[in-house]
Amino acid sequence: MRDFSNDHTTCALNTATLGHNLPGHGAGWSTEQVIDACAARGMAGIVFWRREIGDRAVQIGERVRASGMEVVGLCRTPFLVGSDMPKPLSDDARASVDMAAALGTKVLTIVTGGTEPGTKGVLDSQKILAARTAQLADYAGQFGVSLALEPLNPMFGGNRTVLMTASDALRVAGMTGQANVGVAIDVYHVWWDTTLAETLATHGTGRVLGYHLCDWLEETRDMLLDRGMMGDGVADLRAIRATVEATGYAGPCEVEVFSANNWWKRDPNDVLDHMLAAYKSVC
């Protein structure tokens, strides 16, 4: 396992940690301010959200690379299943691939959406998801973009996801038959899963495309917007990372902390400095 105790050059910022420019959240830093602050701290790169990019994908990607970093990933595709899936699927989903390619990133994250109308349970929705992901992967492959299926904590099941475990995500990735489909492992969503190590050891080799860091607060007050900074909660961060890296994953580790009532209210410089200190001490 890599030693981060004196090295944070593998750390990437997911801009959600600073409020990702959501109205009323964060300090309102521009994308350029975020890039410059991360570069000044010697970080690996940044993961952006589509809402931040607009029509400036090429410009933003070039600025990140000129600063010595990389665009580690893009969040996210539109939902691919469920009642909230945009219509038609192909237009918005392909637009997310186009944005990833213009940014120059190799990883586009998929949060799947909820159960498909007219189905029960999740198995039928997972089959539909696999077929739609395979179709999108064909298109993404033309631009060198890989798709990372992200399983979510079961509390989001049926609403925002039909993938509640790493096992679910890896099975669906395999069902697509596409080499550029893998998974993203997020501490917030898998910290509780006692089968994670076995699942990744058996099925995860070469399939992990991203690793997301935060912590699970024992007294979580909001299922979406109350994540902890690393070290502030009960997740076994080093054990999870060891499991992820045992699959061969050696890429950046992105910090993604949704925190409307804590970290999003703080000065972004303080957030970044605290984040890097925690990265080296507990991750």
Q: In the prediction, which pLDDT does 75 show?
A: 96
User: Residue 153: exposed, middle, or buried by beta-carbon count in 10 A (0-12, 13-18, 19+)?
Assistant: buried
What averages of pLDDT result for each successive group of 10 residues across the chain (283 residues)? 96 93 65 95 97 94 98 97 85 96 98 95 97 97 98 94 98 98 98 98 98 97 96 98 98 96 93 98 98
Q: In the prediction, which pLDDT does 24 show?
A: 55
Q: In the prediction, which pLDDT does 30 show?
A: 87
Q: In the prediction, which pLDDT does 23 show?
A: 59
Domains along the chain with CATH numbers: 11-282 (3.20.20.150)
The 10 Å Cβ neighbour count of residue 32 is 12
Q: In the prediction, which pLDDT does 134 show?
A: 97
| DSSP letters spanning 115-137 | PPTT--TTHHHHHHHHHHHHHHH
Q: In the prediction, which pLDDT does 216 show?
A: 98
Distance of alpha carbon 194 from alpha carbon 197, whole angstroms:
7
